[in-house]
Structure 1
Amino acid sequence: MTVTIGLAGAGRRAVEVHAPAIASCPGARFGGVWARSPMTTRALADKYGVPVFDHFDEMLGHCDAVAFAVPPAVQEDIAAVAARRGRAVLLERPIASDLAGAEDLAVAAARTISQVALTWRYAPAIRDFLTTEVPRTFPKGGSGRVISPAPAGASPRVRELSVLRSLGPDLVDLLDAALGKVAGVRAHGEPDGWFGLMLEHQIGRYSEVSMYALPEGATRRAEVEIFGPGGAAAIDCVAAVGPDAIDTMYREFTAAVEQGTPPELDVRHGLRLQQVIEAAETDLIVGES
């Protein structure tokens, strides 16, 4: 079986990440592109020789699955439409603009195949880290550090929330995989763009996260360290994630669609990450007032 995948979106992430991965995926056929900008949509579709769809509903009639590269507020609405039509959905993170939208999307996608594009988790180096390096430490706790560029001209708090939403889901997900499900979060920040998270994991472990939002053009960094009686294990997440991670993500997505087997990183997992991120946002906003 070949899975026909339509692409919703024609921006930078669609162009640089999703489109080339769909086109090169052995189990997929690139079914076409829909986006709200006619010029960029046409340019992307022409590059791969695939159809342009003027209406999202029209694309749904020509594909088995949809990959999304659109803002969260758009994704929560149109991904729900696709899921209700029985189409598998590959979702960007965060999966929605807020918790209510994420809950609605999780309900809509409950009966179809869904997968969240947590690209770190598909990288071979990170998978080896989780399956080989972390167990050797007999893990008791961990830490994460992120330095990332944020929108120019924005206030420090807006920059913080931007970084939290763009990289927070990946970082929380990785610590969640290494130490157990996150059961609670506390967040605090400073007016210069730095903020921290304390994560409580279900099985009595804890991790601490430091994130710093810098002006656009800054070099991105993301590191995770896990420690316990057996020592420590650390990984540079930026260096670990390359095109092979995206290719693996798409191979596993098409396999899930073919087999009808829900992936581990599905919409319900995306909802749980959204709950953690939104709780952290609330702490940061309340702390500022």
Structure 2
Amino acid sequence: MTSPDVLRCGLVGTGSWAGRTHAPALRDHKNTEFVGVWGRRPEAAAELAAAQGTTAYDDVDALFAACDAVAFAVPPDVQAPLAARAAAAGCHLLLDKPLATEPVAARAVVDAVAAAGVASVVFCTMRYAPATAAWIAEQATVDGWFTGRADWYGALYTPGDDAEIRATTPWRAERGALWDVGPHALSVLLPLLGDVTSVAAGRGPGDTVHLLLRHASGASSTASLSLTAPAEAAGVTVELRGTAGVSAMPSGRGNAQESFAVALDVLLESVRTGVPAPCDARFGLRLTEILSTAEGALPPA
């Protein structure tokens, strides 16, 4: 580290999410030095680096060697092997969700993190947006939750009219809402209701998936996930019911850069203290395991 309080951070990824959220947050955070970016397209890395006043790296391992920590903004099954390499190089990890779409790949990241003794955080936006994070923390102290529901209805694309999505983030169009917004829903439900012990899954229109979950606390929950909802029907709702009554998560996702800066704070604290973050690579592995089980339980399309 350049000082006890500053992390030299690199960025893997050059897409719109990296450019709008990760890079500005890494540049502007008072406790990070944004040392460089690597992407699978060197011209895109050069363009992003120039816009952010940092260095474009042609060799990802050279970027890892120059960093204390690396943030990832690439598809999950590109992220996982690169994250394992970064951990082996001694870099702390700020990972995007989902960690991977195959449990074996996610487990390899967890093993690499453990072997290297580095810190890790998985960036699930709702866990770090100030308003929703405060609500999650408050509800986690309340006993007696009987059931919960998480409705994540997006209108990101519609089948037959998704050329831009398929061109820019093909994994999202191919894997659908289960893998894109499923991690968000689980990242809220698990800290409130406990680990998932059983999963049932069904299909709806488009890429819509409905999950029925049983939790270690004895509570049950449902999660409805879609990227193909009509624009008029889009929205996010999380609600809990129990002996304390009914509690609904505040609406609105907040500012993504602000949430990412909070995730950076959590990573820095984990680096400083050696205490694993609640939403670390092991949590990312658990999300992948649950979603993989759900995918296997879905009837044929």
The alignment's TM-score, normalised by the length of structure 1, stands at 0.90
**Offset at residue 169 of structure 1 (A):** 0.7
Q: 1:99 aligns with which of 91, 98, 103?
A: 103
SS of the equivalent of 2:154 reads strand
The residue number in structure 1 matching 2:259 is 245
Distance between the aligned counterparts of 1:217 and 1:13, measured in 2? 21
Query: 1:66–1:187: structure 2 CA closer, same or farther, 3 Å change rule?
Result: same
One-letter amino acid matched to 1:75: Q
Deviates more, 1:18-27 or 1:143-152: 143-152
Query: 1:133–1:115: structure 2 CA closer, same or farther, 3 Å change rule?
Result: closer
Contact kept? 1:90, 1:253, Cα under 8 Å: yes
One-letter amino acid matched to 1:35: G
The residue number in structure 1 matching 2:85 is 81
**Matching of residue 115 in structure 1 with residue 124 in structure 2:** no
Structure 1, residues 3-51: CA drift from partner, whole Å, max 9, x if none?
0000001111110110111111111100100111122211111112111
Query: 1:249–1:183: structure 2 CA closer, same or farther, 3 Å change rule?
Result: same
Distance between the aligned counterparts of 2:256 and 2:98, measured in 1? 20
**Offset at residue 230 of structure 1 (A):** 1.9
Query: 1:142–1:170: structure 2 CA closer, same or farther, 3 Å change rule?
Result: same
Equivalent residue runs for 1:8-19 within 5 Å: 8-19=12-23
Distance between the aligned counterparts of 1:215 and 1:140, measured in 2? 28
Distance between the aligned counterparts of 1:239 and 1:67, measured in 2? 21
Q: Percent of pairs identical after alignment?
A: 31
The residue number in structure 2 matching 1:68 is 72
**Matching of residue 201 in structure 1 with residue 205 in structure 2:** no
Quote the RMSD (CA, aligned, Å).
Answer: 2.4
Structure 1, residues 226-284: CA drift from partner, whole Å, max 9, x if none?
01122111124544564322221112212322333321111111000101111111112
**Matching of residue 227 in structure 1 with residue 227 in structure 2:** no
Distance between the aligned counterparts of 2:81 and 2:216, measured in 1? 32
SS of the equivalent of 1:4 reads strand
Deviates more, 1:270-279 or 1:176-185: 176-185
Query: 1:217–1:63: structure 2 CA closer, same or farther, 3 Å change rule?
Result: farther
**Matching of residue 144 in structure 1 with residue 144 in structure 2:** no
Equivalent residue runs for 1:20-35 within 5 Å: 20-35=24-39
SS of the equivalent of 1:54 reads coil
Deviates more, 1:128-137 or 1:190-199: 128-137
**Matching of residue 288 in structure 1 with residue 294 in structure 2:** no
Deviates more, 1:19-28 or 1:189-198: 189-198
Distance between the aligned counterparts of 2:174 and 2:214, measured in 1? 21
Structure 1, residues 127-176: CA drift from partner, whole Å, max 9, x if none?
22123356557421111111113555469xx9694111111011011011
Equivalent residue runs for 1:274-285 within 5 Å: 274-284=288-298
Contact kept? 1:148, 1:218, Cα under 8 Å: no
Contact kept? 1:145, 1:223, Cα under 8 Å: yes
Distance between the aligned counterparts of 1:98 and 1:82, measured in 2? 19
Deviates more, 1:181-190 or 1:124-133: 124-133
Distance between the aligned counterparts of 1:216 and 1:25, measured in 2? 37
Q: 2:136 aligns with which of 127, 130, 135?
A: 130
One-letter amino acid matched to 2:52: Y
Deviates more, 1:6-15 or 1:144-153: 144-153
SS of the equivalent of 1:254 reads helix
Query: 1:72–1:133: structure 2 CA closer, same or farther, 3 Å change rule?
Result: closer
Distance between the aligned counterparts of 2:208 and 2:119, measured in 1? 37
Contact kept? 2:206, 2:228, Cα under 8 Å: no
One-letter amino acid matched to 2:120: S
Count how many residue pairs are aligned between Structure 1 and Structure 2.
286
SS of the equivalent of 1:256 reads helix
